[in-house]
Structure 1
Amino acid sequence: MGVFVQVVMVVGMLTCLATVAYAASGTATYYTPPYVPSSCYGYQNNGVMIAAASDVIWGNRAACGRNYRVRCTGPTNQGVPQPCRGQSIVVKIVDYCPAGCQGTIDLSQEAFSQIADPNAGKIKIEYNQV
């Protein structure tokens, strides 16, 4: 039984490491209410921990409903104070950020505020699907 527990622990640790290894880098901006209608769900309310996907992850609507863990890694402009709050969030993709979108992920204002100072406007992030 002891060997089984050790194997399960090692597999769990490797899974965690693999998740970290697959984090992609990008940028995040934010948008403000109203959050409906959205490209994925029309007038359905999906709360405030939501985001719009840019072409990088949109995949012709394939991103609809996917959850992403997003973590602020720093400012996009040199000389700007550190905007990051040191935590990560999970958001659900509910909308499309059209061509010309300024970020990889366009977070709701509430989601952005949890990971960074909104005054930054745009931040560097790491993100992965969860």
Structure 2
Amino acid sequence: MYFSNTFILLITLLFTMLTLNVVTALPLHRRASYSGDGTFYTVGLGSCGKTNSDSEMVAALSSSLMSGGKNCGKSLKVTSDSGSVTVKAVDTCPSCAEGDVDFSPAAFKKLGSLDEGRISINWSFT
């Protein structure tokens, strides 16, 4: 079978365009999973510049994850032995390790009892 150089060039160009389109359509944020401790705090004006309340499903992340506000407003899916919750990152927790999350009281109650104070969690960005 004989194909002209123009036909081969067009097929190559089309394949390249399709490949580039697929690559650029992939999500850019990482889908890493984290584990650490979950705690809770009194919510107020957060490092993302907005005021939230204790009744909202919000949380604070470690300084390394919130550096420069790069994760402000991102959603996290969090699980513990007692439940799960989806929260929005709105603040920085300076004393938290990278896998730790500091929750609003309402969000923490979805994962455990406030009496526990500190629980083991697993989470990822959604």
CA contact (8 A) 1:67 1:90 kept: yes
1:109 pairs with 2:102: no
Equivalent in 27, 36, 42 of residue 26 of structure 1: 36
Q: Encode CA deviations 1:11-47: one digit per residue, 9 max, x unaligned.
A: xxxxxxxxxx943211110012xx3311103336796
1:70 pairs with 2:78: yes
- Residue 27 and residue 64 in structure 1: after superposition, are their counterparts in 2 closer, same or farther (change >3 A)? same
Report the CA distance between 1:126 and its aligned residue.
Answer: 0.3
Give 1:124's aligned residue: 120
Please list every run of 5 or more consecutive structure 1 residues that lacks an aligned counterpart in the other structure. Answer: 1-20, 74-84
Larger Rg: 2
- Residue 23 and residue 44 in structure 1: after superposition, are their counterparts in 2 closer, same or farther (change >3 A)? closer
Report the CA distance between 1:67 and its aligned residue.
Answer: 0.4
| Structure 2: distance between partners of 1:112 and 1:29 | 7
Q: Compute the RMSD of aligned alpha carbons.
A: 2.4
Which residue identity does 2:61 align to in structure 1?
A: A
Count of paired positions = 95
Equivalent in 17, 20, 41 of residue 49 of structure 2: 41
Q: Give the TM-score of the pair, scaled to structure 1.
A: 0.63
Q: Give the TM-score of the pair, scaled to structure 2.
A: 0.65
- Residue 61 and residue 46 in structure 1: after superposition, are their counterparts in 2 closer, same or farther (change >3 A)? farther
Which residue identity does 2:75 align to in structure 1?
A: N
| Structure 2: distance between partners of 1:44 and 1:101 | 20
- Residue 44 and residue 111 in structure 1: after superposition, are their counterparts in 2 closer, same or farther (change >3 A)? closer
CA contact (8 A) 1:56 1:104 kept: no
| Structure 1: distance between partners of 2:52 and 2:37 | 27
| Structure 2: distance between partners of 1:52 and 1:72 | 17
